């Protein structure tokens, strides 16, 4: 519809221009007659233009086959010009004489030869270039969407791979804790630890296809983990969890905090002293989520972390948040170590 209106509009402008020219030179002119006289020349492009667009889609440009591309386009243009001129001759004859015979067709053909054919070539070239520009843009957009999809699938695979590293690592360490309770003949604690572990494993299964989960679920996971560790180390650890802000509106990568907390627990449990403080502070506002973890360390600790946890955490953060997060691990006063993490609010990975 838009295509037909476009060419009718051009026909109207051309007829009006010729009408004004005739009036300027004091020649008789009827606008409707001129409009109908111009209609075959402009109106037929409403049929030809879509065919030109179709040819640009069917004949793709390839550098390695440039000669084939040129030949096919020349052939297509000749066929389309023949169709255009054939329709124009027939329509001119019908409009002017109301009938078609050999004499009338010869007259219309002579008029065609005397018409400004270069205008037809320029129009065809404009339509042809527009068609290839639209085709190129459409294909580039399709490729971009396809590349984005492939990149997202690759990112998903990489993140799943990182998650698959965490799961056995976490399970192995937690089962070691349960085994230690059993060796110490702490059967009631071992049973409770297994109960907490089953809840954690249930959350792992429930969220195996989700990279981001509500923050309260991650906190429940961490609290279960700390419950198990406090059973094992008893007075070695004194844990405190402080929460503030609207936590239900925040999302966080699943099992992101667990390696950080585990790292802090490993530092504290290696100390000979009791009541080694481990403080976890989580605050969420409209712009960012802030996590601060403070734990006591040994003076001889090199603060290198334990296992794959910290490295894994950084890799996941890089892939999900790029440069929009901060993760710092620094020694502070009085033999304490601080882990600080900030994440932007509003990231929707899933």
Q: What does the alpha-carbon distance between residue 107 and residue 48 come to, in Å, rounded to a whole number?
A: 23
Residue-wise pLDDT for 274-313, tens only, equals 778 889 999 988 788 999 998 888 766 554 544 467 787 8
Higher pLDDT, 76 or 102: 76
Q: How much is the mean pLDDT over the chain?
A: 80
Q: How far is CA 262 from CA 190, 307, 315, in A?
A: 19, 10, 17
Residue-wise pLDDT for 122-135, tens only, equals 888 888 888 888 88
Higher pLDDT, 172 or 150: 172
DSSP 254: T
What are the structural domains of the chain?
2-145 (no CATH), 166-344 (3.30.565.10)
CA 216, 222, 228: angle at the middle one, nearest 5? 140
Q: Is the pLDDT of residue 157 over 50?
A: yes
Q: Is the pLDDT of residue 317 over 60?
A: yes
Q: Is the pLDDT of residue 47 over 70?
A: yes
The token pair at 243 is 């929460």
Exposure of 172 in the CB half-sphere (CA atoms within 13 A) = 10
Q: What does the alpha-carbon distance between residue 25 and residue 106 come to, in Å, rounded to a whole number?
A: 30
Q: What does the alpha-carbon distance between residue 96 and residue 90 come to, in Å, rounded to a whole number?
A: 10
pTM score: 0.54
Q: How far is CA 233 from CA 10, 46, 134, 220, 241, in A?
A: 86, 83, 68, 20, 18
- pLDDT attached to residue 305: 47
Residue-wise pLDDT for 6-46, tens only, equals 888 888 888 888 888 888 887 887 888 888 888 888 888 88
């Amino acid at each position: 519809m838009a295509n037909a209106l476009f060419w009718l509009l051009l026909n109207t402008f051309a007829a009006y221009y010729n009408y004004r020219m005739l009036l300027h030179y004091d020649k008789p002119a009827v606008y409707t007659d001129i409009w109908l006289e111009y209609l075959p020349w402009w109106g037929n492009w409403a049929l030809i233009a879509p065919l030109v667009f179709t040819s640009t889609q069917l004949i793709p440009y390839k550098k390695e086959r440039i000669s084939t591309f040129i030949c096919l386009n020349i052939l297509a243009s000749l066929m389309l010009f023949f169709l255009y001129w054939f329709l124009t001759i027939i329509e001119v004859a019908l409009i002017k004489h109301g009938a078609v015979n050999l004499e009338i067709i010869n007259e219309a053909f002579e008029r065609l030869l005397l018409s400004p054919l270069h205008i037809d070539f320029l129009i065809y070239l404009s339509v042809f270039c527009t068609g290839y520009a639209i085709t190129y843009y459409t294909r580039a957009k399709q490729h971009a969407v396809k590349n984005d999809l492939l990149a997202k699938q690759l990112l998903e695979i990489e993140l799943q791979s990182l998650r698959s590293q965490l799961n056995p690592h976490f399970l192995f360490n937690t089962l070691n804790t349960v085994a230690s309770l059993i060796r110490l003949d702490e059967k009631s604690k071992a049973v409770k630890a297994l109960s907490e572990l089953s809840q954690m494993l249930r959350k792992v299964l429930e969220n195996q296809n989700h990279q981001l989960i509500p923050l309260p679920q991650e906190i429940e996971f961490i609290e279960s983990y700390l419950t198990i560790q406090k059973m094992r180390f008893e007075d070695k650890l004194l844990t405190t969890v402080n929460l503030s802000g609207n936590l239900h509106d925040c999302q966080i990568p699943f099992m992101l905090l667990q390696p950080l907390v585990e790292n802090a627990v490993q530092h504290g449990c290696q100390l000979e002293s009791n009541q080694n403080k481990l403080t976890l502070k989580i605050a969420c506002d409209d712009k960012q989520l802030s996590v601060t973890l403070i734990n006591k360390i040994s003076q001889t600790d090199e603060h290198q972390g334990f296992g794959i946890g910290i490295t894994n955490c950084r890799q996941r953060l890089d892939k999900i948040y790029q440069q929009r997060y901060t993760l710092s691990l620094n020694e502070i006063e009085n033999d304490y170590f601080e882990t600080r993490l900030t994440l932007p609010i509003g990231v929707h990975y899933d």
